[in-house]
Structure 1
Amino acid sequence: MDLPRLPNRPHLAEVVPSVLAVLGVPGFANTLEIPPVSSACVLLVDGLGWELLEEHAAEAPVLAALARSPLKVGYPATTVAGLAAIGTGLASGEHGMTGYTFVVPGVGVLNALRWATHPRGPDLRERLPPGEAQPLPTTFERAADAGARSAVVSEAQFAKTALTEAVQRGGEYVGVYALGDLAASILHRLEQPRSFAYAYHSQLDQMGHRYGPGSAAWRYQLRQVDRLVESVVDNLPPDSMLAVVADHGMVTIDEATDLDAVPDLLAGVRAIAGEPRARHVYADEGAMDDVLGAWRVELGDRAWVVTREEAIEAGWFGPRVSDRVRPRIGDLVVAARERFGLVRRAAEPFESALIGHHGSLTTAEQLVPLAVAYGS
């Protein structure tokens, strides 16, 4: 099988280290060659794919007018992995947040957004502390250790979540409630010399999931994102920078296989994780060959069905995969092609009913913008 490779572009994980480097924080490298500034904010707009922004530039004239270039987000192209890339400066093979859901040995299938056993199990914070699930120092911790000011400006509801602790600990958390205080909080941080802020906006992704990327609801939300960017850009302090990025793009699923309804796909399988565009399949002991054969026959050319080792060798999870992370990756890694989905209507009714999805290797999901503006 001819396996796809990730796009030959800089990785989302390079953004925060590059910004911290130009702020003079030791221990970071400016691989993106960002020009020097005295303060900076990285604003992540969840779900703002490069191709979606190109196609709908008329809805976002301020964003579209900024100097921008594409980044790749790595595999899987999903929020948990993207936030961890921002928070650690590493790809998923090292930070270990390998999907929306994934198996943690000795624990079971973790839903990393809810920090609970997937699909409808109990909270896992006591059994799996966030600092054990993702033990590497975050970019915010490293910045703080070097004496730099850093802040996480995000929705107040996320302040105490386990995922926030796992990938964003070390920054001062500034909880916000709407676009107005998000913009005001960003600008307040940028007024402080040698200050770094990471900001997050979630609702474009929500519109894409519920109504589809490019739908009327999604386009109106993109207009609101553009107004947010305009509010910040128009008021940037001298010698400051705003960098707008995203964690993934999105596609609309036109065809789907319900994994829960195909007995041949469940035989010999102890667990299924991931999401409809990017699945981890964990085989029973001794059943790997049979499971691999059944999934390849059933899915044909609608998905790439590869072994863990094949996916690692192809670089899907980054240049390095640690021994801690390897067991979290499925024995099979199944990446959907085109507009195909791998739903689970019985086990995952909410996720299966969504219209927009992401996670796989298409450029629509993998490429996101790096759009920058500088204060004068």
Structure 2
Amino acid sequence: MQIPDDFILPRYGHSALSDLLPSIGAHLGVPGCDRDVLGLPSAESYVVLLVDGLGDQLLRQSLQHTEYFSEVYGDAVRLTSGVPSTTATSLTCLGTGLVPGQHGTAGYSFRAPGCSHAMNALTWEGGPDDLLGFQPKATMFERLAAAGVTVTSVGLERFAGSGLTTTALRGPRFVGVDELDHPARIEASVAASREGSRNVVYVYERTLDHTGHGKGVASQEWLDALTSIDGFAAQLREALDDQVCLLVTGDHGMIDVSAERHVLVEDSPALLQGVDVFAGEGRLRQLWTSEPGAVQRRWEAELGERALVVSRVQAVEAGWFGPMDASLRDRFGDVLVAMRDDWAVMTRALPRELGLVGQHGSLTPAEMQVPLLVDHPASW
């Protein structure tokens, strides 16, 4: 399979989001974390600020509108997300230190294990009740805690105990805060960074992603959100002790998709012929079918140069999901449709998705690459 020049593959084991916490673990003495592949500063305390929707290309082209990010961007490491380049998959990569083929959170929506319907990994609609059965492998937070590291998560109160939090990010003490109350978030983060002799604090920020989906990344509203987050990060850094290493990263980038660039499956009936489950993101649809070869050929003929249409076997062989756990393979589509340029495959059956301006999920650099900003005054 030839990968288009406008796509990039994830760099699992070298510079992917799944490598971040294992690299921290290498400095904190976590068994099995033998090497820091990212070259992080050595510290006893790390604060990881995850900005949902912070793509590297988006940040780089907007640095003139930031103060703090522009100061630290010069030393940034460029990471790749997993595939799909979407929140549920990326947060699970971050939290578990595993690649998608090993943790099994196969996208925003995908076929629920042992079922004939799709589940939503963010809301957990249609998902199994047995959360530990769904993702039984130890998270990096659990491994850190088992090694005597104090771990804390600072996030929205309503995320405590959610399906995604439990499967992807379980292990830390959870501190619920109002996302608009920056002083409270900073106070909680600083307090957590002073607990124990070694600690890791995870802070989640979702405003940028929410604004990008609703208004687009080319909007003034998106730029205002970035400026606000830049100010929050600067205040957080100022409040943290110098020996604390602050790491700011994202889970995916984003591109704007106009309605004119929607491929509506209802307008091309051949696209759904033979498809049993239609799921995934507008930028990377996943199809489950008993006739994958025929479905792949129909989608290739219909979409042409607008997409790369591959079988699951081809995607696995190309390294999209990393090494694949055989028990998880059916969570990934029999056929995958990765959109190129600014196209998206949409359906009138999901009207809320039709209103999305900013989208992500495919393998373009704008979606796949995220920055890792490293700020550790004690190492200067």
> What's the CA shift for 1:198?
1.0
For the pair 1:105 / 2:113, whether they are aligned, the reply is yes
Equivalent of 1:89, from 84, 88, 97?
97
- Aligned positions of 1:45-194 closer than 5 A: 45-66=51-72, 67-107=75-115, 108-117=117-126, 124=127, 127-177=128-178, 178-192=181-195, 193-194=197-198
Identity of aligned residues (%): 38
Aligned to 2:17: 12
The answer to whether the 8 Å contact 1:236/1:375 transfers is: no
- The whole-number CA distance in structure 1 between the counterparts of 2:82 and 2:314 is 16
User: Bigger CA drift: 55-64 or 37-46?
Assistant: 55-64
Looking at structure 1, the residues matched to 123 and 268 of structure 2 have their Cα atoms a distance apart, in angstroms, of 28
Task: Classify 1:270/1:184 alpha carbon distance in 2 versus 1 (closer, same or farther; 3 Å).
Answer: same
SS at match of 1:196: strand
Is 1:253 paired with 2:257?
yes
Once residues 375 and 182 of structure 1 are traced to their aligned partners in structure 2, the CA distance between those partners, rounded to angstroms, is 21
Give the drift of 1:352: 1.7
User: Contact (CA 8 Å) 1:276, 1:352: kept in 2 or not?
Assistant: no
What do the CA deviations read for 1:231-278 (whole angstroms, capped 9, x no partner)? Answer: 111222132100001000000113110113321001111011101001
Q: 1:373 aligns with which of 352, 367, 375?
A: 375
Query: Does residue 310 of the first structure (1) align with residue 319 of the second (2)?
Result: no
With normalisation by structure 2, the TM-score equals: 0.93
Partner of 1:326: 329
Give yes or no for contact 2:41–2:376 (8 Å, CA) kept in 1: no
- What is the TM-score of this pair, normalised by structure 1? 0.93
Question: What amino acid does structure 2 have at the position aligned with 1:349?
Answer: P
C-alpha distance in structure 1 between counterparts of 2:268 and 2:134, whole Å: 32
**CA 1:323–1:7 in 2, change beyond 3 Å: closer, same or farther?**
closer
Query: What is the deviation of 1:314?
Result: 0.7
- Picking from 335, 340, 343, the partner of 1:337 is 340
Between the aligned partners of 2:97 and 2:293, the Cα distance in structure 1 is 36
| Map of 2:48 onto structure 1 | 42
- What RMSD in Å do the two structures reach over aligned CA positions? 1.4
In 2, Cα distance between equivalents of 1:137 and 1:231: 33
Deviates more, 1:2-11 or 1:212-221: 2-11
Query: Do residues 226 (structure 1) and 230 (structure 2) align?
Result: yes
Gaps of 5+ in 2: none
Structure 1 counterpart SS, 2:204: strand
2:357 aligned partner: 355
Deviates more, 1:11-20 or 1:362-371: 11-20
Deviation at 1:83, TM superposition (A): 0.5
Question: Is the CA contact (8 Å cut-off) linking 2:255 and 2:342 kept in structure 1?
Answer: yes
Per-residue deviation, residues 103-123 of structure 1 (Å, max 9, x unmatched): 123233110111112xxxxxx
Q: Given that residues 109 and 279 in structure 2 are in contact (C-alpha distance below 8 angstroms), is that contact kept between their aligned partners in structure 1?
A: yes
Deviations 1:328-350 (A, max 9, x none): 111101101010001112x2110
Separation of aligned partners in 2, 1:28 and 1:69? 20
Is residue 2:190 matched to residue 1:200?
no
1:375 shift after superposition: 3.5
Q: Does 1:3 align with 2:11?
A: no
Partner secondary structure for residue 144 of structure 1:
helix
Q: What SS does the aligned partner of 1:371 have?
A: strand
Q: Tell me which amino acid in the other structure corresponds to 2:104.
A: G
39-48 or 5-14: bigger deviation: 5-14
Given that 1:76 and 1:278 are in contact with CA atoms closer than 8 Å, whether structure 2 keeps it comes out as yes
> Do the aligned partners of 1:7 and 1:363 also contact (CA within 8 Å) in 2?
no
* Residues 87 and 167, structure 1, Cα contact 8 Å, conserved in 2: yes
TM superposition shift of 1:7: 5.4
Partner of residue 279 from structure 1, selected from 266, 282, 285: 285
Query: What is the identity, as a one-letter code, of the residue corresponding to 1:156?
Result: E
Shift of 1:80: 0.3
> How many residues of Structure 1 are paired with residues of Structure 2 in the alignment?
364
> For each residue in 1:58-90, what CA deviation from the matched residue of structure 2 results, as whole angstroms up to 9, or x when unmatched?
222201211212100021000001100111101
- Quote the Cα distance in structure 1 between the aligned partners of 2:327 and 2:124: 19
